[in-house]
Amino acid sequence: MCLVTTALVLVLTLLVLVYVFLTWNFNYWRSRGIKTAPTWPFVGSFPSIFTRKRNIAYDIDDIYEKYKDTENMVGVFTTRVPQLLVMCPEYIHKIYATDFRSFHNNEWRNFVNKKTDMILGNNPFVLTGDEWKERRSEIMPALSPNRVSNLIKHLPNQNCIFILRKVKAVYPVSQSVCRKFVEYIRRQQQMASSQGLDAMDLSLCYTTEVVSDCGLGVSAQSFTDTPTPLLKMIKRVFNTSFEFIFYSVVTNLWQKVRKIYSVPFFNKETEVFFLDIIRRCITLRLEKPEQQRDDFLNYMLQLQEKKGLHTDNILINTMTFILDGFETTALVLAHIMLMLGRNPEEQDKVRKEIGSADLTFDQMSELPHLDACIYETLRLFSPQVAARKLVTEPFEFANKNGRTVHLKPGDVVTIPVKALHHDPQYYEDPLTFKPERFLESNGGGMKSYRDRGVYLAFGDGPRHCPGMRFALTQLKAALVEILRNFEIKVNPKTRSDNQIDDTFFMATLKGGIYLDFKDLSQLSSSWFSSALARRCAMCTISTALLVIAAILALIYVFLTWNFSYWKKMGIPTAKSWPFVGSFPSVFTQKRNVVYDIDEIYEQYKNTDSIVGVFQTRIPQLMVTTPEYAHKIFVSDFRSFHDNEMAKFTDSKKDPILANNPFILTGEAWKERRAEVTPGLSANRVKAAYPVSLRVCKKFVEYIRRQSLMAPAQGLNAKDLCLCYTTEVISDCVLGISAQSFTDNPTPMVGMTKRVFEQSFGFIFYTVVANLWPPITKFYSVSLFAKDVAAFFHDIMRKCIQVRRESPAAQQRDDFLNYMLQLQEKKGLNAAELTSHTMTFLTDGFETTAQVLTHTLLFLARNPEEQQKLREEVGTAELTFEQISELPFTEACIHETLRIFSPVLAARKVVTEPYELTNKNGVSVKLRPGDVVIIPVNALHNDPQYYEEPQSFKPERFLNINGGAKKYRDQGLYFGFGDGPRICPGMRFSLTQIKAALVEIVRNFDVKVNPKTRKDNEIDDTYFMPALKGGVWLDFVERN
983 is in an annotated binding site: yes
pLDDT of residue 750: 72
126 against 368, higher pLDDT: 368
Contact 397, 86 (CB under 8 A): yes
Say if residue 706 is exposed, middle or buried (CB neighbours under 10 Å; 0-12, 13-18, 19+).
Answer: middle
pLDDT of residue 461: 79
Please work out, in degrees rounded to the nearest 5, the angle formed at the alpha carbon of residue 106 by the alpha carbons of 100 and 107: 135
Kindly state the average pLDDT of the residues 643-670: 73
For residue 914, list its beta bridge partners: 926
Cα dist. 76→84, 128, 414, 964 in Å?
6, 24, 9, 62
Residue 751 half-sphere exposure toward CB, CA atoms < 13 A: 20
How confident is the model over 903-946, as pLDDT tens digits?
899 999 999 999 999 999 999 999 999 999 999 999 999 999 99
How confident is the model over 129-163, as pLDDT tens digits?
767 666 666 666 655 543 322 322 232 333 333 33
Q: How many Å from the N-terminal Cα to the C-terminal Cα in the chain?
A: 30
Instruction: Tell me which of 597-601, 737-741, 752-756 is least confident.
Output: 752-756
pLDDT beyond 90 at 114:
no
pLDDT of residue 966: 93
Kindly state the average pLDDT of the residues 230-253: 64
Kindly state the average pLDDT of the residues 881-910: 93
Q: Is 620 helix (H, G, I), strand (E, B) or coil?
A: strand
Instruction: Tell me which of 457-471, 831-845, 952-966, 979-993 is least confident.
Output: 831-845
pLDDT of residue 571: 93
pLDDT beyond 80 at 15:
no
1007 against 812, higher pLDDT: 1007
pLDDT beyond 80 at 94:
yes
pLDDT beyond 90 at 82:
yes
Residue 308, sorted as left (phi over 0), alpha (psi -120 to 50) or beta, turns out to be left
Kindly state the average pLDDT of the residues 403-417: 93
* Mean of per-residue pLDDT scores for the chain: 81
Kindly state the average pLDDT of the residues 1023-1036: 90
Q: How far is CA 306 from the centre of its chain?
A: 46
Domain with CATH 1.10.630.10 in the chain: 107-516, 625-1037
Say if residue 850 is exposed, middle or buried (CB neighbours under 10 Å; 0-12, 13-18, 19+).
Answer: buried
CA dihedral 380, 383, 386, 389 (to 10 degrees): -140
pLDDT beyond 60 at 353:
yes
pLDDT of residue 809: 60
Domain spanning 107-516: CATH superfamily: Cytochrome P450 (1.10.630.10)
Please tell me the total number of residues recorded for the chain in this structure.
1039
Q: How far apart are CA 828 and CA 495, in angstroms?
A: 55
Count other C-beta atoms under 10 Å from residue 313's C-beta: 18
Kindly state the average pLDDT of the residues 829-852: 75
pLDDT of residue 527: 43
pLDDT beyond 80 at 1016:
yes
Contacts of 311 (CB under 8 A, 6+ apart): 282, 304
pTM for this model (two decimals): 0.51
pLDDT of residue 167: 43
Q: How far is CA 4 from the centre of its chain?
A: 54
Q: Is 611 helix (H, G, I), strand (E, B) or coil?
A: strand
Domain spanning 625-1037: CATH superfamily: Cytochrome P450 (1.10.630.10)
How confident is the model over 161-196, as pLDDT tens digits?
333 344 444 455 556 788 888 988 988 888 877 888
Order across the sheet with 197-198: list the strands.
197-198, 514-519, 486-490
Order across the sheet with 715-716: list the strands.
715-716, 1032-1037, 1004-1008
Q: How far apart are CA 933 and CA 627, in angstroms?
A: 14
pLDDT of residue 914: 95
Contacts of 125 (CB under 8 A, 6+ apart): 106, 108, 324, 463
